[in-house]
């Protein structure tokens, strides 16, 4: 007897349309990131219920509310631990973290490094506007030296961190840089990152049109070039990737810096020898489970 199979709805950008419209400033680079993420999910034929988007705090961290998928808006700098817990519980979820440079490279720096060295199967999209946008323009960990901000009126005296070099050195196995002003290229980087098994970092230049008047769309467009257009560049070569990560000034590279295939944490942890946590017994009866839930809720 033939069994009727319901035809799956064709995936489009509209499939991922959130119930809430983005409230970012007009022209904010985060609009391009949101669109590119939706495009990547369409490209990979990943359905909304197969995706979890986790964020911290900041303008960019509002993104989970603007996309039709599972979402968690967590604490400032704590998106990676929340995402780690979700991924270790359910390996079938595509877990994407979205945040800003302040959230990830400042407040959450410790979590950032340890998640990479574990090579967790996570995709981390950082909207790097080189400023604290939500709190009206303070210097962040990636603000360029000498730039005047609300907290550095005489010019920033601190050396900015290099997230690409840090990602490679800390053990991330997919390290890329994109630009929200080039959403098609960004979509390709996102799709590659989500499909990759291991920790994927995509640092995205996402201009803050309200509080950063230095690192603007024209500023980036004059300087950015694609690594894939460079003859002989091989993202499997870690030394070359590190060398490119330090290029800054008149020419700034974007694209896939580094990619490697290594065992992921989920495959190496003995606790998962019987499968992900959602498929393992709780080890308690229903009465105890209900008691614990009553205490927690």
Indicate which CATH number applies to the domain containing 202: 3.40.50.970
274: containing domain: 23-296
Residue 11 lies in a domain: no
Cα 257 vs. chain centroid, distance in angstroms? 16
- Would you state the pLDDT for residue 4? 39
- Would you state the pLDDT for residue 8? 58
pLDDT grade, residue 280 (50/70/90)? confident
- Would you state the pLDDT for residue 279? 85
- Would you state the pLDDT for residue 213? 96
Q: Please, what sign has the CA dihedral across residues 163, 164, 167, 170?
A: negative
Q: Do residues 232 and 208 touch, judged by C-beta distance below 8 A?
A: no
Tokens of 11: 């995936």
Residue 9 lies in a domain: no
Average pLDDT rounded to a whole number, residues 194-199 = 98
Q: Do residues 255 and 228 touch, judged by C-beta distance below 8 A?
A: yes
Residue 7 lies in a domain: no
Structural element, H or E, at residue 110: helix 109-118
Percent of the chain with pLDDT over 70: 97
- Would you state the pLDDT for residue 282? 81
Residue 10 lies in a domain: no
Residue 147 has pLDDT above 70, yes or no: yes
DSSP at 68 = S
pLDDT digits over 32-78, tens only? 999 999 999 999 999 999 999 999 999 999 999 999 999 999 999 99
- Would you state the pLDDT for residue 27? 97
For strand 200-205 and strand 123-128, is the pairing parallel, antiparallel, or unpaired? parallel
Residue 232 has pLDDT above 50, yes or no: yes
Cβ-Cβ contacts under 8 Å for 164 (sequence gap 6 or more): 175, 177, 201, 203, 245, 257
Report d(CA 68, CA 15) in Å as an integer.
Answer: 7
The more confident residue out of 6 and 205 is 205
Structural element, H or E, at residue 83: helix 79-89
Angle in degrees, 0-180, between the axes of helices 109-118 and 163-170, rounded to the nearest 10: 40
- Would you state the pLDDT for residue 271? 87
Cα 171 vs. chain centroid, distance in angstroms? 16
Residue 18 lies in a domain: no
Written as one string, the DSSP assignment of 221-260 is HTTEEEGGGSTT--TT-HHHHHHHHT--SS-EEEEEEEE-
DSSP at 189 = H
Average pLDDT rounded to a whole number, residues 19-39 = 97
Q: Locate tokens 């007009």: which residue?
A: 26
Cα 206 vs. chain centroid, distance in angstroms? 12
Residue 12 lies in a domain: no
Report d(CA 89, CA 70) in Å as an integer.
Answer: 15
Residue 221 lies in a domain: yes
pLDDT digits over 87-145, tens only? 999 999 999 999 999 999 999 999 999 999 999 999 999 999 999 999 999 999 999 99
Cβ-Cβ contacts under 8 Å for 254 (sequence gap 6 or more): 176, 177, 178, 179, 185, 205, 224, 225, 226, 227
Percent of the chain with pLDDT over 90: 90
**What CA–CA distances, in Å, run from 217 to 18, 28, 55, 98?**
26, 10, 25, 21
Q: Do residues 50 and 94 touch, judged by C-beta distance below 8 A?
A: yes
Residue 281 lies in a domain: yes
Model confidence pTM above 0.95: no
Structural element, H or E, at residue 111: helix 109-118
Residue 6 has pLDDT above 50, yes or no: no
DSSP at 279 = G
- Total domains in the chain come to 1
Average pLDDT rounded to a whole number, residues 173-201 = 98
Average pLDDT rounded to a whole number, residues 239-256 = 97
């Amino acid at each position: 007897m033939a069994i009727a199979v319901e035809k799956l709805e064709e995936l489009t950008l509209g499939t991922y349309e959130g119930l809430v419209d983005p409230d970012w400033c007009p022209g904010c680079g985060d609009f391009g990131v949101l669109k590119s993420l939706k495009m990547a999910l369409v490209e990979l034929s990943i359905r909304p219920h197969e995706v979890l988007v986790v964020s911290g705090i900041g303008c960019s961290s509002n993104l989970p509310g603007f996309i039709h998928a599972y979402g968690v808006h967590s604490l400032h700098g704590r998106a990676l631990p929340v995402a780690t817990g979700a991924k270790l519980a359910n390996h079938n979820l595509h877990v994407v973290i979205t945040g800003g440079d302040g959230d990830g490279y400042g407040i959450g720096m410790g979590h950032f490094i340890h998640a990479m060295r574990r090579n967790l199967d996570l995709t981390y999209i950082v909207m790097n506007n080189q400023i604290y946008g939500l709190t009206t323009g303070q210097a962040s960990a990636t603000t360029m030296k000498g730039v005047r901000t609300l907290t550095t009126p005489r010019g920033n005296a601190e050396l900015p961190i290099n997230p690409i070099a840090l990602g490679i050195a800390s053990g991330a196995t997919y390290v890329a840089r994109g630009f929200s002003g080039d959403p098609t290229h960004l979509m390709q980087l996102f799709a590659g990152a989500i499909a990759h098994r291991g920790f994927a970092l995509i640092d995205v230049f996402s201009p803050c049109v309200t509080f950063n008047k230095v690192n603007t769309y024209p500023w980036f467009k004059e300087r950015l070039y694609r690594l894939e257009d460079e003859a002989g560049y091989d993202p499997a070569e870690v030394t070359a990737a590190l060398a490119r990560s330090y290029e800054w000034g008149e020419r700034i590279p974007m694209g896939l810096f580094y990619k490697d295939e290594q065992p992921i944490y989920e495959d190496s942890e003995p606790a998962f020898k019987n499968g992900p946590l959602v498929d393992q017994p709780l080890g308690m009866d229903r009465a105890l489970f209900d008691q614990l839930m009553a205490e927690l809720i």
